[in-house]
Chain A
């Protein structure tokens, strides 16, 4: 199962936090994503079992929200704001340049599983336009050149400090940690994600491939993952 016994205890902690168990569904989906790198069919089944829901009910929720992913996300999620104040200051040049450098369409992950690049809607930091995020931390007012330097650092597995580092802003060192934190469980454990990269066997459970994600980025013709390909699974086992 996607969640280890240890993590399952934490999931039950999340359920106990709410007056009604189902409220823990979004946090549990984040937790599954922290462990698997995406919301896998097995994860959907596990969430359904935990909350007494059907897989269809869980799937309906998981597919509604853009932050739940249907295939593994890279270690670093680079999100470029595409809404008007950012577009006016060159955000689309940045997203296009990053996608070109990674040789992937928007929404894609590079071959090594290190960086996923996406365009997103307004990130509520319009005074910092154009806004680029790494694992939801802001890098503001970047030129295309600066954005490319940021990208090269990430590809070397180095995380430059975010714009407000001096004020205490910290970039989450991996998407696994980010998703753990979004589940509402505080600091991620050091062992998170070890050896749980999505395996083809795991992906064969349930309906595969998953229905396409409801994003405009997909309309650009982004390929869906081949069955059981485990495409772009990050090398999770390498980190501690």
Chain B
């Protein structure tokens, strides 16, 4: 049995934690003095030693990412926080900003100090009102108290932070697209290399880190590497937020050490299946990660464990689907998402997602053909690894995994002349 932990969520139960004074009483901004006592190089080394891996989906080691930042370029170094949380099923960063916005501001200050950034940006999606208000209020309060601006706490360190709002585009969660958007362009990804660490925002060295990643940094500075590594596994250490939604009794965010068995997250913390239903499928990390089944419930939820089961940890967004959920309809829903959100830059993703949407639509509405499943697989093959960025790869995940685990259901949609589940949409209609 793995116990839930209270690190990132430690202040979520206090409904005044968003207030700077209350945050201070709860050890808020305590990492600043500890950080300013160290050299930036030592801080980068500390984060490397901690083994912290990015919480935005890819799981890249944060300290290593910081270490790649080009030095001596004569240009400023930028920290950009990716708060464009929009992977279906993921709602951890927004709750963090609602409940504990100063935790991110604190993380931005110490992380900026570590990498030598004097101008940080937080790119927050536009559709989330309350997190936006909370974060802006936290930034304003931090400026008022001298925690941002010039000579922070007498350290000689200056930092300005700009909150920049997105305008509705999932692709801007991809780091190069995010930077394009922050530069006032269409949010389309750019070819790497050069990586943002060398040529990022305004072609200057830039690191893009997820909200949860940055909010974790102060904890490592305050409590040390050994404490951090006491949670999780050697390769995936530390605490992690898991967003659980779908057909469970108690959907919500839960914080566990990485490596917690999926069963304890879904059947334990989230209360198990609602209405006594049976679990049919679940995603470990959002719609872009291949679906798993009840057979995979004992998989440890860390980067290696989930990869071993044939999927990806992604954002640790666990969407749970019961026996009542039609897998064709589920794939159609996700594919509508990808077709809508494809930025249009590359052909495999732009065309492929739309073709798949049409095929899934006709399967669901009873117009499917026996060869459709092979066509879907072919299109997925033509997208995966051939699209410009990971959006295309992600679009193939639900379909490939559903065909692997639930092929019979697709066949039934053809042989039975439509969807065998209740509530079928006969016509694809307005979508």
Contact = CB atoms under 8 A, between A and B. Distances in A.
A169 B137 CA distance: 13
Contacts of B91: 124-127
A67 B336 CA distance: 18
B244 A127 contact: yes
B88 A85 contact: yes
B164 A26 contact: yes
Contacts of B166: 26, 65, 67
Contacts of B130: 137-138, 162, 164, 168-170
B279 interface: no
B90 A124 contact: yes
A121 B170 contact: yes
B376 to A, nearest CB: 18
Interface string A67-78: 110000000000
A120 B167 CA distance: 12
A216 B165 CA distance: 23
A13 B162 CA distance: 13
Nearest to A90: B423
B238 to A, nearest CB: 22
A108 to B, nearest CB: 11
Contacts of B125: 124
Interface residues of B, number: 67
B184 A25 contact: yes
A136 B126 contact: yes
B253 A19 contact: no
A120 B128 CA distance: 12
Nearest to B181: A26
Contacts of B251: 85, 126-127, 129
Contacts of A182: 126, 132, 165, 167
A65 B127 contact: no
Contacts of A120: 127, 168
Contact of B165 (A26, A137, A170, A172): A26
B165 A30 contact: yes
A65 to B, nearest CB: 4
Contact of B129 (A66, A87, A137): A137
Contact of A67 (B87, B168, B253): B168
Nearest to A65: B167
A123 B127 contact: yes
A19 B126 CA distance: 22
Contacts of A121: 86, 88, 170, 337, 340-341
B31 interface: no
Contacts of A88: 246-247, 321, 325
A17 interface: yes
Contacts of B253: 127
A133 B18 CA distance: 22
B423 to A, nearest CB: 9
A56 B317 CA distance: 39
A178 interface: yes
A79 B127 contact: yes
Contact of A18 (B86, B162, B187, B343): B162
B319 interface: yes
Interface string A197-240: 00000000000000000011101100000000000000000000
Contact of B128 (A26, A123, A217): A123
Most A CB atoms within 10 A — which of B140, B164, B339, B429?
Answer: B164
Interface string B173-215: 0000000011111110000000000000010000000000000
Interface in A25-42: 25-27, 29-30
Contacts of B59: none
Interface in A1-35: 17-20, 22-27, 29-30
A195 interface: no
Contacts of A126: 88-91, 243, 245-246, 251, 317, 319
B89 A220 contact: no
Given A19-B202, A26-B165, A216 B340 contact: yes
Given A124-B91, A126-B89, 10 more contacts: A26-B184, A67-B167, A83-B337, A88-B321, A121-B86, A123-B128, A124-B94, A126-B319, A127-B251, A171-B129
What 4 pairs across the A-B complex have the smallest Cβ distances? Answer: A25-B184, A66-B168, A126-B245, A65-B167
Interface of B: 15, 18, 76, 85-91, 93-94, 98, 119, 125-130, 132-134, 136, 140, 162-170, 181-187, 202, 243-247, 251-253, 287, 317, 319, 321, 325, 330, 333-334, 336-337, 339-341, 343, 429-431
5 contacts: A19-B202, A84-B89, A84-B334, A87-B333, A182-B165
